[in-house]
A and B are shown apart, each in its own frame.
Chain A
Amino acid sequence: KNQVEQSPQSLIILEGKNCTLQCNYTVSPFSNLRWYKQDTGRGPVSLTIMTFSENTKSNGRYTATLDADTKQSSLHITASQLSDSASYICVVSDRGSTLGRLYFGRGTQLTVWP
């Protein structure tokens, strides 16, 4: 069964600190992995997308890594800001169909305190 598991479920950090969020998946055949940021009551916004051949992708203070062999990804946030408080969702796409089905993790709820 294709699944995406994220950890931790929730995380509280102080402003200015770094943190790393984890994503493990069993989706096969793998096409790409995306990290989204979802603010409360809003739709998800794409942060990064990585294909099989990419190991790392950065977007400002966000850096995503991918190990396609172990089927693991991480999202590292540097020098956190209050505005980083949100749910971070790992999404994996398969290439077994024309649609490229998306499989969603439940997200990590990040809270940044001043």
Chain B
Amino acid sequence: EADIYQTPRYLVIGTGKKITLECSQTMGHDKMYWYQQDPGMELHLIHYSYGVNSTEKGDLSSESTVSRIRTEHFPLTLESARPSHTSQYLCASSELGPANFGPGTRLLVL
């Protein structure tokens, strides 16, 4: 079992609220990723990081932001949630092997 954690697992929130999705890994991996996945659809990369103080936007345009102050921590923030942000958000980390995924956060914006 991969040591990568996400909180919260489920979140229901109103439009306009600011939220932060947490992701932590204990494997010391430099590379970390955030993916967005709608039901029955493929994963889309929204943010990634090579290491501390390194963040880049992914393929899918996202209104979220990320930070990487510590190796083990890669939080994702939505400044003002909208119903279009309703989705599952998956965090992952990797070194040379396959990416290890967290359990995901299911977000519902009303």
Contact = CB atoms under 8 A, between A and B. Distances in A.
B3 to A, nearest CB: 13
A104 interface: yes
Interface stretch (A12-20, A21-29, A40-48, A72-80): A40-48
Contacts of B42: 4, 89, 104-107
A99 B43 CA distance: 17
Contacts, number: 50
Interface in A30-67: 34, 36, 41-46, 49
Interface string A98-114: 11011011110100000
Contacts of B104: 41-43
A41 B45 CA distance: 18
B103 A42 contact: yes
A41 B106 contact: yes
Interface in B1-45: 2, 4, 6, 31, 33, 40-45
Number of contact residues on A: which range applies?
A: 20 to 34
Contacts of A43: 4, 6, 90, 92, 101-104
Nearest to A10: B40
A19 to B, nearest CB: 19
A102 B99 contact: yes
Contacts of B33: 102
Contacts of A107: 40, 42
Nearest to B58: A101
Nearest to A98: B50
Interface string B40-76: 1111110010100000000000000000000000000
A45 B33 CA distance: 15
A91 B42 CA distance: 10
Nearest to B33: A102
Contact of B40 (A98, A102, A106): A106
17 contacts: A36-B101, A41-B104, A41-B106, A43-B104, A44-B43, A44-B101, A46-B100, A98-B50, A99-B31, A99-B48, A101-B45, A102-B33, A102-B45, A105-B42, A106-B40, A106-B41, A109-B40
